[in-house]
Chain A
Amino acid sequence: MKGSITILCFFSVGLFFGYSKVLPDFLIKNDYSSYALYFLMFLVGIGVGTDTKAFEVLKGFNFKIILIPLTTIVGTALGISLIFLFIPNLSFREAQAVGAGYGYYSLSSIIITETYSKTLGVIALLSNVMREIITLLLAPLMVTFFGKIAPVCSGGATSMDTTLPIITSVSGKEFAIISLFHGIVLTILVPFIVSLVIAL
């Protein structure tokens, strides 16, 4: 999730190229992109396997810390279950798959695009970018009204990098490790939960 602006730039430049139709047809009709996704997931897997940070953070920490990522997963699912009724032409499963990105927009939108549909992929991209932005903007209010864990859960997978500074400043330094752990756990879980929900 590092370099969110870079990622959005690549997407926007692609959008422009596609819209202006300057690229040859064979580049647009890309059937090989699902192989690119498998390759990416393999790389992401290696990244997770070599990353021992999550275990290190866990060491010497109360196991209660697991409740926090769980809170985010259940809370997101509950909130979306209530609100999806107000969204026309969107199934329960589609809404949940978008929500299961937990702010990890790059990977969740790619998975949804390749395994389900482009339209839902775009919704996932936008929705998860918004989750990050809303957390950055409203973190101070969240702490005031909902306690110190609220911005962590709102930040979702981004609580390990992009929203970590704001979380530490509004919730306190003692929440840095909690926030980091929470983000790492969700980052690892996103590909699993998104592909499972969309395959239901």
Chain B
Amino acid sequence: MLIVIAVMAIGIVIGYFLRHKALLIKINNKFTMWAIYLLLFVLGVSIGANETIMKNLPILGLKALTITFGGVVGSIFLAWFTYTKFFKNKEQE
């Protein structure tokens, strides 16, 4: 778990020193994209082969939707607060 953060932090430091190497940035973006594609493909394969998950997919979808609903509603209510408190009046000035 914490390895994920450590590895990423090392990447950030290395990346910062290489931030002017345009070609490297381009190659890195390509690799990142394909790594994501590959991992999601692998995730798909292992889920497709998992009968318990496949059978419960509609229930998982419903759970996912409920979490999304909570997150979005919470965000927009607080956004309304932040907007009226810190941004709205300033905009009118």
Chain A residues engaging chain B, CB cutoff 8 angstroms: 2-3, 6-7, 10-21, 23, 27-28, 30, 33, 36-52, 64, 67-68, 71-72, 74-84, 86-87, 90, 95, 98-99, 102, 106-107, 109-111, 113, 115, 118-119, 121-128, 130-131, 134-135, 142, 145-150, 152-154, 156, 191-192, 195-196, 198-199
Contact = CB atoms under 8 A, between A and B. Distances in A.
A140 to B, nearest CB: 13
Interface residues of B, number: 73
A63 to B, nearest CB: 11
Contacts of B56: 119
A150 B79 contact: yes
A146 B76 contact: yes
Contacts of A106: 36, 40
Given A30-B45, A39-B35, 14 more contacts: A15-B45, A20-B48, A27-B45, A28-B46, A37-B4, A42-B10, A44-B8, A46-B18, A48-B11, A49-B18, A50-B28, A83-B66, A110-B39, A110-B40
10 contacts: A18-B49, A39-B35, A48-B15, A49-B18, A50-B28, A75-B78, A80-B74, A83-B66, A106-B40, A125-B64
Given A14-B40, A28-B49, A42 B8 contact: yes
Contacts of A127: 63-65, 67-68, 71
B70 A10 contact: no
Contact of A99 (B49, B60, B70, B80): B70
A131 to B, nearest CB: 5
B43 A67 contact: no
B38 A36 contact: yes
Interface of B: 1-5, 7-19, 21, 24-25, 28-29, 31-33, 35-50, 53-54, 56-57, 60-61, 63-84, 86-88
B74 A118 contact: no
The 10 closest A-B pairs by CB, nearest first: A79-B74, A45-B11, A49-B15, A14-B44, A18-B48, A83-B70, A75-B78, A147-B83, A126-B64, A127-B64
A196 B5 contact: yes
B11 A154 contact: no
Given A16-B48, A18-B44, A46-B15, A79 B79 contact: no
